[in-house]
Structure 1
Amino acid sequence: MKSICMYFQLHQPYRMKWFWPDLSEGFERYFDSAINREIFEKVADKCYLPATKTLLQLAEQYEGDFRFSVSITGTLLSQCKQWNPEIIDLFRALADTGCVEFLDETNYHSLAGLFDDRTEFAEQVREHHKLISELVGVKPHFFRNTELLYNNSIARNVMEMGYRGILAEGVDGLVASPNHVYKAKDCDLKVLLRNYKLTDDIGYRFSARWWSGYPLTAEKWADWASHEKGDILNIFMDYETFGEHQWSDTGIFDFLRALPQEVLKRDLVFSTPSEIIRNYETIGEVDVGDFNTISWADIERDTSAWLGNDMQRRCFEEVRLLEPYVKKTGDRNLINIWKHFLTSDHYYYMCTKWLGDGDVHSYFSIHTSPYDAAINFMAIINDFKSQVFKKLTGKDKNIYR
């Protein structure tokens, strides 16, 4: 019997403020609390609350037959804890149904997996595991890297941390079909590959009137799924699909409520990632190489969404090179700030791609252009360097004189 493996990613970053040196200190010196709370509350009202309540109702209604998985970044969990603890209560209620598998990832939705030395990567994963265990009451055994960033080296690190499986993008040409279970190259780690066409039919094209599939109904989508060849269909998407990317008036919540019934009546089943790797045999290996990293972002499905231009690469390198100095300070506040500098969104806002990908990159950005985002980021990094210098030497290195 064919399984549908649905996975939802939940994330909000802490966005940087438009920087100008003032007397503020700590986290508030660089991150805009007012903007972050405003965006969080907007998305919570449009998505996190109604989507989670809907999914909880469906999980209870179908008594174990509707199953799915989620991962929630540490930055979003922290915002929920600070600004709307009801959402965490709903996550705990989802966990209590026994129908939802929670996955681990980097705590800060960061690019730490792209460091040559993955010590920081492993540290952030442990932080996430601890945080979600404390707040949601679960201990994940399956892994999802930031933006599905994946290569052979990352897979080996994930296996060494004790995880049983990892999610990745079903990049064209990587394997014959994403609709099977694979293993990572030269390591004992199962790999589930996203069926991006069926996923994007919901996540991106649902309300597109120019699309030949419009209007998309649960019945129509379930028909397409039932005719797909293979053992499994991995449907991985942003949680914000429900209510934020696709607004409520598009009918996206009606689609979601109707989906389980339409899928189940076609002799398909819903399974979580751990159930998939337990119930289906692997049919081959995923071999990306150690340096040819893939992701689920943009048309290219590589790292170009974050490191595709000189601005992005320079900013990322500045932050990467700061690691030993920041950690040498032993200052928990400085280390916490530095870790948040690695959040992928900051580099995403600096992307200079155009057309559809450019629209996606500007979504949720507070900057008027990618160039403003990069200039602001570098101003913050230069100021942060002076804070680190002062902590290490006791001297005030005023970069503004």
Structure 2
Amino acid sequence: MKTICFYFQIHQPFRLKRYRFFDIGNDHYYYDDFNNEEIMHRIAQRSYIPANYTLLEMIKNSNGKFKVAFSISGIALEQLEIYVPEFIDSMKELAKTGCVEFLSETYAHSLASLKDPIEFANQVKMHDDKIEALFGQRPKVFRNTELIYSDDIACQIADMGFKGCITEGAKHILGWKSPNYLYNSAAAPKLKLLLKNYKVSDDISFRFSNYEWSEYPLTADKFIGWIANTPESEQIVNLFMNYETLGELQPRETGIFEFMKALPRFAEEKGIGFATPTEIISKVKPVDSLSMPYPISWADEERDTSAWLGNVLQNEAFEKLYSVAERVRLCDDRRLKQDWNYLQTSDHFYYMCTKHFNDGAVHSHYSPYETPYEAFTNYMNVLSDFIVRVEAQYPAEIENEELNALITTIKNQASEIEILQKELKSAKLEKQQAKTKVETSKSKAKVTANKNTKATVSSKTTTKV
């Protein structure tokens, strides 16, 4: 039986306000609250909320046969809780159906997996704690920022306990192979890989309302027919896309919601089902292993990381940001740690991309800046102020070796404290048990004495009579 796996990504960054050189050291608030609120409200009203109700209707009308998965960054969840709490409520309603799976990712939607394994692991845990607190699910399948994946990252993902990972079905990796199978990682054989079928995903995301497309208009029966006509052995079709596809990238008037609602009915007619990523990796056996020595992503023709780290500007900002990672982890300043998360978001580096910027490419479409150079200057001004704040707590004069030694000392002290607390707890328990034992013995002795006293009195009474 052929199976469709739908997964939607939800992410919005905390966009930075215009931050001048002269603001460094004087203004420690970096965000464009007005723009962030306006964008989140607009997208939620046009896309996220109506899409949630559409999917809920699809689940109910199909008697639970329609399944879907979401990957929601922690950064997006924070903004949704602040600006659109009704979306969180509608997502909780979806979660209650049992037909929705939440995927793991980095809390800050960051590129930490490419630079800092400790930060990467911390953010994944932070994200999954947030998902579990809000929706009552602990993610079991991982989806990295921008679908970035490599053999090295696979090992990190497997070490964190995940059984499956979602990534791009990149042509230069697959070659003649199809993305419509389950694979496993060559570097971490127990990690199963679900690969995005970017052609059919993009048919919905980017070509659905394109009048110049040869297949326009795209109807639900035509789309399901394409999937049904794939080779019999190809049992999985992974449709991965941004949630804004529904209502924002493809506005309501294009018929995108009606298209979605019709999919389960036509799928059932063709004997095609729906499943979540966890259901697939638990039921389907991998057909082959894939090795990816270099990082891949969903972006551009290259399907690599050049959209975020492809030029000197991006790499300069990236290296400078992570140069203070150890110091930030040492501090307990809540505001500083919050800014650290917000500044790691991959969007900031995406805005600095110079590839095809002037020809109307997707990079310029999503950027709030007029040029990548403006994006770089603004970010670096903010980052300079942030680093001043970090170094106020842990001065730059402290070399990394000293810092690492300090971290080791702190960790050792923490371990010693934990051991001592356990010993103290054990000692208290033993003392309490001993006290209880003594009190029990006293009670037994008292009861025995009372019995003896009663027996003596009874004997004297009998003798007297």
TM-score band w.r.t. shorter chain: over 0.9
- Equivalent residue runs for 1:216-231 within 5 Å: 216-229=218-231, 230-231=234-235
Cα gap change, 1:382/1:173 in structure 2, threshold over 3 Å: closer, same or farther? Answer: closer
Cα gap change, 1:170/1:22 in structure 2, threshold over 3 Å: closer, same or farther? Answer: closer
Do the aligned residues in 1 keep the contact of 2:369 with 2:375 (CA within 8 Å)?
A: yes
Match of 1:280 among 279, 284, 302: 284
Residue 354 of structure 2 aligns to a residue in which SS? coil
- 2: CA distance between counterparts of 1:357 and 1:285? 38
Do the aligned residues in 1 keep the contact of 2:24 with 2:382 (CA within 8 Å)?
A: no
Q: Measure how far apart 1:362 and its partner are.
A: 2.3
Q: Deviations over 1:51-91 (max 9, x none)?
A: 11111111111111111111111111111111121111111
- Equivalent residue runs for 1:55-74 within 5 Å: 55-74=55-74
Identity value in percent: 44
- 2: CA distance between counterparts of 1:244 and 1:324? 39
- 2: CA distance between counterparts of 1:359 and 1:249? 24
Match of 2:346 among 327, 334, 344: 344
Q: Deviations over 1:255-313 (max 9, x none)?
A: 11111112221111101111111221111111001xx1001111111001101111111
Cα gap change, 1:355/1:331 in structure 2, threshold over 3 Å: closer, same or farther? Answer: closer
Question: What amino acid does structure 1 have at the position aligned with 2:180?
Answer: N
Counterpart of 1:398 in structure 2 is none
Match of 1:241 among 238, 241, 245: 245
Counterpart of 1:170 in structure 2 is 169
Counterpart of 1:47 in structure 2 is 47
Question: What amino acid does structure 2 have at the position aligned with 1:348?
Answer: Y
Question: What amino acid does structure 2 have at the position aligned with 1:44?
Answer: A
- Equivalent residue runs for 1:316-395 within 5 Å: 316-354=318-356, 359-392=361-394
Residue 319 of structure 1 aligns to a residue in which SS? helix
Q: Measure how far apart 1:330 and its partner are.
A: 3.0
Counterpart of 2:183 in structure 1 is 182
Q: Measure how far apart 1:316 and its partner are.
A: 0.7
- 1: CA distance between counterparts of 2:277 and 2:353? 32
Residue 254 of structure 1 aligns to a residue in which SS? helix
Greater C-alpha Rg: 2
- Equivalent residue runs for 1:2-401 within 5 Å: 2-20=2-20, 21=23, 29-115=29-115, 117-175=116-174, 176-187=177-188, 188-229=190-231, 230-289=234-293, 292-354=294-356, 359-392=361-394
Cα RMSD of the aligned pairs, angstroms, is 1.8
- 2: CA distance between counterparts of 1:235 and 1:306? 24
Q: Measure how far apart 1:24 and its partner are.
A: 7.2
Do the aligned residues in 1 keep the contact of 2:180 with 2:236 (CA within 8 Å)?
A: yes
Cα gap change, 1:356/1:22 in structure 2, threshold over 3 Å: closer, same or farther? Answer: closer
Do the aligned residues in 1 keep the contact of 2:128 with 2:139 (CA within 8 Å)?
A: yes
Cα gap change, 1:383/1:173 in structure 2, threshold over 3 Å: closer, same or farther? Answer: closer
Cα gap change, 1:323/1:259 in structure 2, threshold over 3 Å: closer, same or farther? Answer: same
Do the aligned residues in 2 keep the contact of 1:231 with 1:280 (CA within 8 Å)?
A: no
Q: Measure how far apart 1:23 and its partner are.
A: 8.6
Q: Measure how far apart 1:186 and its partner are.
A: 3.2
Do the aligned residues in 1 keep the contact of 2:24 with 2:381 (CA within 8 Å)?
A: no
Alignment length, in residue pairs? 390
Question: What amino acid does structure 2 have at the position aligned with 1:71?
Answer: S
- 1: CA distance between counterparts of 2:26 and 2:49? 33
- 1: CA distance between counterparts of 2:286 and 2:55? 30
Q: Measure how far apart 1:238 and its partner are.
A: 0.5
Q: Measure how far apart 1:393 and its partner are.
A: 5.1
- Name the structure with the higher helix share: 2
Q: Measure how far apart 1:173 and its partner are.
A: 3.8
Do the aligned residues in 2 keep the contact of 1:298 with 1:357 (CA within 8 Å)?
A: no
Q: Measure how far apart 1:357 and its partner are.
A: 8.5
Do the aligned residues in 1 keep the contact of 2:7 with 2:240 (CA within 8 Å)?
A: yes
Cα gap change, 1:127/1:358 in structure 2, threshold over 3 Å: closer, same or farther? Answer: farther
Cα gap change, 1:358/1:146 in structure 2, threshold over 3 Å: closer, same or farther? Answer: farther
Question: What amino acid does structure 2 have at the position aligned with 1:34?
Answer: F
Cα gap change, 1:22/1:184 in structure 2, threshold over 3 Å: closer, same or farther? Answer: closer
- 1: CA distance between counterparts of 2:82 and 2:158? 33
Residue 289 of structure 2 aligns to a residue in which SS? strand
Residue 282 of structure 1 aligns to a residue in which SS? coil
